[in-house]
């Protein structure tokens, strides 16, 4: 199992409860939930990745179980990882997902890759 399927089901339930439509994509060895074609939340192994934006970043890092997202040796400001205990309770999971939903309108979408023409 590349990512926590139970956590994925819980995330789906939160989005459904909030009447928010998202699209799922497998990436980075995990699962990403896209909102308005922008990365919103994701799962890498058993941790929740949240795109909360730079304004909430420092405050979020003070919360128990929250740590900087670091894939390449440098932290990605505006993105955090949450350990499983930090989102064990449904209210906690809903809180973090709401932060991501709130930031989403301000997030920049990734540039679309051009498809290669086959000759």
Which of the residue ranges 26-40, 71-85, 93-107 has the most confident prediction, judged by mean pLDDT? 93-107
Q: Is 113 inside any structural domain?
A: no
Q: Is pLDDT of 116 > 90? A: no
Q: Which range (44-58, 71-85, 95-109) has the least confidence?
A: 71-85
- Report how far residue 54's alpha carbon sits from residue 39's, in angstroms, rounded to the nearest whole number: 15
Q: What is the CATH number of the domain that holds 37?
A: 3.90.1150.30
Q: Is pLDDT of 92 > 80? A: yes
Query: What's the chain's Rg over C-alpha atoms?
Result: 14
pTM of the model: 0.88
Q: Is 18 inside any structural domain?
A: yes
**Average pLDDT over the chain, rounded to an integer:** 91
Q: Is 87 inside any structural domain?
A: yes
pLDDT in tens, 52-71: 999 999 999 999 999 999 87
Are 8 and 26 in contact, with CB atoms under 8 Å apart?
Answer: no
Q: Is 82 inside any structural domain?
A: yes
Q: Is 81 inside any structural domain?
A: yes
Are 38 and 44 in contact, with CB atoms under 8 Å apart?
Answer: no
Q: Is 111 inside any structural domain?
A: no
Sign of the Cα torsion 86, 93, 48, 53 reads negative
Q: What is the pLDDT of residue 74?
A: 83
Q: Is pLDDT of 112 > 70? A: no
Q: Is 48 inside any structural domain?
A: yes
Q: Is 115 inside any structural domain?
A: no
Count: domains in the chain = 1
The whole domain housing 25 covers 5-106
């Amino acid at each position: 199992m590349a990512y926590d399927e139970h956590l994925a089901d819980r995330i789906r339930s939160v989005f459904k409860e909030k009447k928010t439509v998202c699209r799922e994509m497998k990436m980075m060895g995990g699962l990403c939930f896209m909102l308005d074609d922008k990365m919103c939340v994701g799962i890498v192994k058993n941790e929740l990745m949240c795109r909360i934006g730079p304004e909430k970043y420092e405050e979020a890092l003070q919360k128990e179980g929250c740590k900087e997202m670091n894939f390449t040796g440098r932290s990605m400001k505006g993105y955090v990882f949450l350990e499983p205990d930090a989102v064990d309770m449904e209210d906690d999971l809903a809180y973090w997902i709401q932060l991501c939903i709130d930031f989403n309108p301000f997030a920049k979408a990734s540039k679309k890759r051009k498809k290669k023409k086959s000759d």
